[in-house]
Structures are given as C-alpha cells and as structure tokens.
Amino acid sequence: MLPTYRPGDWLLVSGWAPISAGCVVLLRHPMERRRYVVKRAVGRRGDRWWVEGDNAGASTDSRHFGPVAPDAIVGRVLLRYGRRSRP
C-alpha cells in the first residue's frame, strides 16, 4: 500500500466499521489464507469486493486474484497510530 502505508506501520482496524468504496481494508490474502494484506476497496462486483493497492505497478490485488469474498475482509483500517522502528 505504498505510499499510503509502509511495512511496519501499526494500524487500528475495526471489524464493525462499514466498508464503502475508497476505504482501506485489512484482508486475508485469497491465495495464502495465513497472510494478511492491506488494500483499498474499490467497489462491489456482485456480492464480492474488488480491492487494489495504491501502488498499481507493484501491487498484487484483485487484478491478479479477482474480487474477494466479504468473509476474507477482517475490517476497515481507521488510522495509523505508530510505526515500528527498524533495527
């Protein structure tokens, strides 16, 4: 999600906040269910969400794995509250 978010950013995520087009969401990667990714919800495709990264040239998103099921979305990112310091 560069440049909006960077690896190591700490995010506050709500599973209760409504999701609409333009929101940033945390989701389980559709192909690697143990991996979590942050993407922008672009819009609905039927009952699924189309998600894209903010860095289109370097992002793996719905253009690669298609729309994601709503149950793959953990929640909406509300804010970044810190950044993990690098060793």
pLDDT at 81 (0 to 100): 86
Extents of the domains making up the chain? 9-82
Its pTM stands at 0.89
Q: What is the pLDDT of residues 37-61, one digit of tens each?
A: 999 999 999 999 999 999 988 899 9
CATH classification (class only), 9-82? mainly beta
Cβ partners under 8 Å of residue 53, min gap 6: 1, 39, 40, 59, 60, 61
